[in-house]
Amino acid sequence: MPRELPAFFVVRRFDAQKCGKDYYDVTVTKCLWHTACVENGCENPYRLFCDADDVTCVGLRKTGFTRTKTFGYGGDCCDFHFFQKVVDA
């Protein structure tokens, strides 16, 4: 029987996931960074974690990335959409 992870390790919750041949969507409904910052009264710095996703994913050659909302910018979730880019040979 698998052991339950301590609460510290339950950092994200994914409620909706879909995928197809050339895309993968996931909706994050709980985020470690958002929760920790709100609980500790430092609500503005967690936007940096959202911004880091944008910076990290923009350089991917074969994978595109979009979101329409994040916890860091007032959204009720983070709705990640990854998709296959058309790459010229």
pTM listed for this prediction: 0.73
pLDDT at 61 over 50: yes
CA–CA–CA angle 70, 76, 78 (5° rounding): 35
Give the chain's mean pLDDT. 81
User: What would the mean pLDDT of 21-30 be, rounded to a whole number?
Assistant: 89
d(CA 30, CA 9): 12
User: What would the mean pLDDT of 20-38 be, rounded to a whole number?
Assistant: 88
pLDDT in tens, 35-57: 888 888 887 778 888 898 888 88
User: In terms of pLDDT, which residue wins out, 43 or 80?
Assistant: 80
